[in-house]
Structure 1
Amino acid sequence: MSLVPRLAVRKAERANPGKKLWKEVKVEKRGDGFTILLDKQPIRTPLKKLIVVPESKPLLADAIALEWSLLHSSKDALTKRYRIPLTQLAARVIDMREPNARTPSRDTTISNVMRYLHTDTLIFYAPSTLEEHRDPNKKTLRELQVAEAEPIVEWLTTVLWPGTKIEYNDGDLGFVVIAHQLPETVKAIREWLEGLTDWDLVALEIATMSSKSFLIGARLVAEWSSDVGVGEKSWGIEEAARAASVEVRYQTEIWGEVEDTHDVDKEDIKRQLGAAWLIALGAEK
């Protein structure tokens, strides 16, 4: 990723191993957005385009600047890209419409997230527990799944996509045949996707992939995006992470948590959902 000139980084590393090329990182207003400067040089995308964060997203610009401030050396920008995840997401947004971009195009991204709709983990309900196997003091997995999913689906089908219907997959009927969504629902959702800004689309992509749920991703982005403009900012990262991990929580309550596995996965989901939230978040218009 050409976020800083590769040749300059290599020369600097040979001369000063472990040193940074820059002394100062700052956010600068430029036109209708913000650029992030390493001394006087703005960071760029892999296609050499300026990374300009929209004026409505000052927190995102500050967070990207913080990523660069925390790098230990110039080489980290090239070899440890996981240290600059927000920078990479911003670069993906800006390069998305370029024909020679190495990452998926806008149309491909829409198709990719749409694939999650028919197999959405939020609406896969476990088979009902036989009465003789039930613990009277605990909710069944199915009851927990329904309790998380129904409010989300109701909000989506009344606020975001009014008049649509979301079909769920019922474990009591078996999962051999997937319950595909109605054509009119698919059409309404695709039209909504096509109207999203590039920033919101990338936010939705990361939220969908991390939660394995298009519906959770759509709920989170729509709740916080000032461009979508329908949310009340009352349903956030914690709620999204909780909805995405119903079965894991159910199993750990029975069998216990595996150290360095369940706890790490839980925080990783929150980290990725947090990135999606920050990409979508905008100041009120």
Structure 2
Amino acid sequence: MNRASELWKCLRKGRLLIDTCNDVPGRLSSVYTTRLSSLSSSSAFSHVVDRPFSQAASAAKDNPEALKEATAQMPVSAHSGPSIGRRFYKSAYAKEASDGDGYLVMLDHRTLKTPAKTYLKVPSLALAHAIAAEWEYQDQDAIRPFTMPLMKLTSTAIDKVPKEREKIIQNLLDFFHTDAVCCRHAVDSPLGELQAEIMNPLLDWIEKEFGCRPSHSSSLFVGNQSDEVVEALRKALKKTNDWQLAAIDALSAAAKSLVIALAVSRGKLGIEEAIQAIRLEEDFQIEEWGLVEGGHDIDVADLRCRIAAASVFLRLF
């Protein structure tokens, strides 16, 4: 079954684990699942219900099979790699590192490593449980990396960000000049008015948070942002740790917007608010011309997974 077909099946029946509980003060204290409803109408993808799943904490610790049952048929990214072989372990679980500094994920007696062969050590038990849940979800016939967004983000934070921090920050700032929040339709058009309603508060927030306001334009030839704004955001990005920068980079790529990525990372936007802002133009066109099943809806599910994973990741470490 190809990735698009699998995602389509998940859209019909699936639930996405977007949080793992560990009752740690300052961390997320419950587990939420997102049930994606039937895609029989153009607005169906917006019908999302978040509800607590109180049993997941004990399941993560004491009953991996119950956790696997709870997270079965997760909607996952359709734009990731294929399977990497059969499942070679019986159970996945989290444990404290022997030095007392962080937590590890175990696959039976083996300590999980990143793609660069570094031990995958994370700062919180909640994140370790969540990554273990992703590995516990895997079927016997195949391990599918695209069903493990938290594993991917963690590996990026450990393997890539420390070595390429300056490059990542510069890439974010280079693409900021064509940020989706700042590239608009004509202000007197229906879509332009809607963009102003949704996007201007984000620019207000940037100004309040960082002391300068990005410009926006409806021109086909979008001008560069001022040096003042760029340097203010550079300063903010340099203050992030590796885990935060990995998530901001992933959010920016999914949203095509550093503004939205920063807003999510700092709690200004929730998952659904971010998705509404990101999809504003495309949803406007869908209202006008209709939804293409097997196209638009899969894009929405993929986006939801990417934004939710990065948002949850930021609250777990």
Task: Identify which of 27, 30, 34 aligns with 2:103.
Answer: 34
Query: What is the alpha-carbon distance in structure 1 between the residues aligned to residue 311 and residue 162 of structure 2?
Result: 24
Shift of the 128–153 alpha-carbon distance from structure 1 to 2, 3 Å rule, reads closer
1:85 aligns with 149
| TM-score normalised over the length of structure 2 | 0.68
Query: What is the alpha-carbon distance in structure 1 between the residues aligned to residue 199 and residue 300 of structure 2?
Result: 19
Task: Identify which of 151, 158, 164 aligns with 2:201.
Answer: 151
Runs of 4+ in structure 1 deviating by more than 4 angstroms, as ranges, are none
For residues 125-136 of structure 1, the aligned pairs below 5 Å read 125-129=184-188
2:173 aligns with 114
Task: Identify which of 265, 281, 284 aligns with 1:221.
Answer: 265
| Higher RCO (CA 8 Å, separation ≥ 6 residues) | 2
AA in 1 matched with 2:118: K
Which is worse superposed, 237-246 or 254-263?
Answer: 254-263
Query: What is the alpha-carbon distance in structure 1 between the residues aligned to residue 126 and residue 223 of structure 2?
Result: 40
Query: What is the alpha-carbon distance in structure 2 between the residues aligned to residue 32 and residue 268 of structure 1?
Result: 34
Query: What is the alpha-carbon distance in structure 2 between the residues aligned to residue 108 and residue 115 of structure 1?
Result: 10
Task: Identify which of 131, 142, 152 aligns with 1:76.
Answer: 142
Query: What is the alpha-carbon distance in structure 2 between the residues aligned to residue 191 and residue 117 of structure 1?
Result: 14
Gaps of 5+ in 1: 1-17, 100-104, 131-139, 224-230
Query: What is the alpha-carbon distance in structure 2 between the residues aligned to residue 43 and residue 186 of structure 1?
Result: 39
RMSD after superposition:
1.9
Query: What is the alpha-carbon distance in structure 1 between the residues aligned to residue 161 and residue 256 of structure 2?
Result: 25
CA apart distance, 1:182: 1.3
For residues 1-285 of structure 1, the aligned pairs below 5 Å read 20-30=87-97, 31-55=100-124, 58-73=125-140, 76-77=142-143, 80-96=144-160, 105-129=164-188, 140-159=190-209, 161=210, 163-169=211-217, 171=218, 174-176=219-221, 178-223=222-267, 235-282=269-316
| TM-score normalised over the length of structure 1 | 0.76
Question: Percent of pairs identical after alignment?
Answer: 30
CA apart distance, 1:33: 1.8
Any conservation in 2 of the 1:237–1:277 contact (CA below 8 Å)? Answer: yes
CA apart distance, 1:61: 2.0
Any conservation in 2 of the 1:165–1:182 contact (CA below 8 Å)? Answer: no
> Is the partner of 1:47 in helix, strand or coil?
coil
Query: What is the alpha-carbon distance in structure 2 between the residues aligned to residue 260 and residue 19 of structure 1?
Result: 28
1:11 aligns with none
Any conservation in 1 of the 2:149–2:306 contact (CA below 8 Å)? Answer: no
1:6 aligns with none
How many residue pairs were aligned?
231
CA apart distance, 1:19: 6.0
AA in 2 matched with 1:71: Q
CA apart distance, 1:206: 0.8
Bigger radius of gyration? 1
Query: What is the alpha-carbon distance in structure 1 between the residues aligned to residue 273 and residue 296 of structure 2?
Result: 18
CA apart distance, 1:281: 1.2
> Is the partner of 1:122 in helix, strand or coil?
coil
AA in 1 matched with 2:183: F
Query: What is the alpha-carbon distance in structure 2 between the residues aligned to residue 203 and residue 70 of structure 1?
Result: 22
Shift of the 280–179 alpha-carbon distance from structure 1 to 2, 3 Å rule, reads same
Deviations 1:216-254 (A, max 9, x none): 01100111xxxxxxx6xxx31100010001111111111
Any conservation in 2 of the 1:60–1:278 contact (CA below 8 Å)? Answer: no
Shift of the 59–236 alpha-carbon distance from structure 1 to 2, 3 Å rule, reads farther
AA in 1 matched with 2:126: L
Query: What is the alpha-carbon distance in structure 1 between the residues aligned to residue 289 and residue 194 of structure 2?
Result: 17
Deviations 1:87-125 (A, max 9, x none): 1221111112565xxxxx111111121122110011111
